[in-house]
């Protein structure tokens, strides 16, 4: 039997717990009573794929609770948009949602982000529980209260900071996660090591195959490590003003690629875009003389070994595509005064925030980088 791990999260706006345990969902009723009364109703938002795999079990565990018929969204990043948000808001309002009711997000990052946004808007805030079912959501997006939808101008440009009241992580959900998605999640996992923890990076170099072989103990250990790092970062900076920006390593480039590809998850999953973005960030750091080339090579080799993409040349072949990519980079939320702010590195485990990068310098770098990767 696996033991329950509890990780407290304490942000400026709200404190809550992350619970991690195999088969945790069985205990959901007991846990929900910690955050609401028995008068509440439960709204569940999920997607088609996750509904097929896990909705029945959740409903069974909830038993004879007062549950509103779940809302099931189509699957994929391209549905994290205005139209879906509006449909979720309508669904909740048409069932006369109340502040004491609970909205559960059962799914990956798309479901968590859009449900969190809806929860923050409805009645100016209703109780919201994250049940992340992908690696990316279990180690990153379900924690810390970033909510969002995408627009044609760029990724995650509309959103709020709205903390969940609980995060329930069951590592066994990852048993049904396709390998491609597990690998994509690994890009966010390794991100924590690359930002601030060389020892964790070495541990991952040794243990990564256990993660992909379905060793749930190893997976649970890695998930808990990431959750702890994230909890400590957001405790210091909930609203992305300083340290939290570090969690954006690889994301400016990654988001720009996702926007360029119209959020088409068949072409590129978010984590895959982050993997390429990490290589961009390390290569730019080397190009600027900030990071030894050796460290860049080690990281790229590791990502290649996992089978994550590390090149973008397929989508950045023509000057028009490159210009569009640079346009999306400029839409990044960290940009100030038409200059970019990027997360760069002095080596593995040594990320820092670099402000005032000119678009011209980035353009030069991108042509140099693509030239070396064609």
Integer Cα distance of 19 and 76 in angstroms? 26
**Measured from the CB atom, is 101 or 140 closer to ligand GLY?**
140
Q: Pick from 117, 149, 182, 247: which binds ligand GLY (CB under 6 A)?
A: 247
Is 146 a binding residue for ligand GLY by CB under 6 A? The answer is yes
Residue 140 touching ligand GLY (CB under 6 A) = yes
Among residues 187, 334, 321, 311, which one has the least CA distance to residue 260?
Answer: 321
Q: How far is the CB of 191 from ligand GLY (least distance, A)?
A: 9
Q: Which two tokens stand for residue 183?
A: 């690998």
Does the protein bind ligand GLY through residue 144 (CB under 6 A)? Answer: yes
Does 333 bind ligand GLY (CB under 6 A)? Our answer is no
Report CA-CA distances (Å) from 255 to 186, 330, 372: 17, 11, 22
x/- string (CB under 6 A) for ligand GLY, residues 217-246?
Answer: ---------------------------x--
Are 44 and 55 contacting, i.e. CB atoms less than 8 angstroms apart? yes
3-state secondary structure at position 124: helix
Question: Residue with the closest Cβ to ligand GLY?
Answer: 247
# residues near ligand GLY by CB under 6 A: 6
DSSP assigned state of 292: -
- Give the ranges where the chain is alpha helix by DSSP (H): 28-32, 48-50, 56-62, 82-94, 109-121, 135-136, 179-196, 198-212, 216-236, 251-260, 270-287, 293-306, 319-330, 359-373
Binding of residue 80 to ligand GLY (CB under 6 A): no
**Shortest spacing between CB 329 and ligand GLY, in angstroms:** 17
Site string for ligand GLY, 82-121 (x = CB under 6 A): ----------------------------------------
Q: How far is the CB of 245 from ligand GLY (least distance, A)?
A: 8
Beta-strand pair 42-47/71-73: parallel
Task: Rule CB under 6 A: say whether 14 interacts with ligand GLY.
Answer: no
Contacting positions for ligand GLY (CB under 6 A): 140-141, 144, 146, 244, 247
């Amino acid at each position: 039997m696996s033991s329950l791990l509890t990780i407290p999260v304490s942000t400026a706006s709200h404190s809550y717990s992350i619970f991690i345990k195999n088969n945790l969902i069985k205990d959901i009723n007991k846990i929900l009573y910690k955050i609401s009364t028995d008068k509440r109703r439960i709204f569940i938002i999920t997607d088609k794929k996750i509904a097929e795999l896990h909705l029945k079990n959740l409903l069974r565990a909830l038993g004879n609770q007062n549950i509103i018929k779940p809302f099931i969204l189509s699957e994929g990043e391209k549905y994290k948009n205005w139209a879906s948000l509006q449909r979720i808001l309508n669904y909740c309002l048409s069932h006369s949602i109340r502040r004491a009711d609970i909205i559960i997000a059962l799914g990956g990052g798309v479901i968590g982000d859009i449900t969190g946004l809806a929860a923050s808007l409805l009645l100016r805030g209703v109780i919201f529980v994250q049940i992340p079912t992908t690696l990316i959501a279990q180690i990153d997006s379900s924690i810390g209260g970033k909510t969002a939808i995408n627009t044609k101008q760029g990724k995650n440009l509309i959103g709020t900071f709205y903390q969940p009241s609980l995060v329930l992580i069951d590592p066994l959900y990852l048993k049904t996660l396709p390998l491609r998605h597990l690998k994509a999640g690994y890009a966010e996992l390794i991100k924590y090591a690359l930002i601030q923890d060389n020892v964790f990076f070495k541990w991952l170099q040794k243990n990564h195959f256990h993660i992909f072989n379905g060793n749930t103990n190893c997976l649970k250990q890695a998930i808990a490590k990431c959750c702890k790092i994230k909890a400590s970062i957001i405790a210091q900076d909930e609203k992305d003003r300083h340290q939290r920006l570090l969690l954006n390593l690889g994301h400016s480039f990654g988001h720009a690629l996702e926007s360029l590809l119209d959020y088409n998850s068949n072409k590129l999953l978010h984590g895959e875009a982050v993997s390429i973005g990490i290589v961009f960030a390390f290569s730019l750091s080397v190009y600027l003389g900030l990071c030894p080339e050796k460290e860049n090579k080690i990281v790229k080799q590791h990502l290649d070994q996992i089978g994550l993409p590390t090149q973008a040349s397929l989508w950045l072949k023509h000057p028009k595509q490159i210009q569009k990519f640079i346009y999306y980079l400029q839409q990044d939320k960290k940009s100030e005064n038409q200059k970019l702010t990027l997360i760069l590195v002095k080596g593995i485990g040594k990320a820092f925030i670099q402000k005032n990068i000119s678009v011209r310098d980035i353009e030069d770098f991108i042509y140099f980088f693509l030239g070396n990767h064609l």
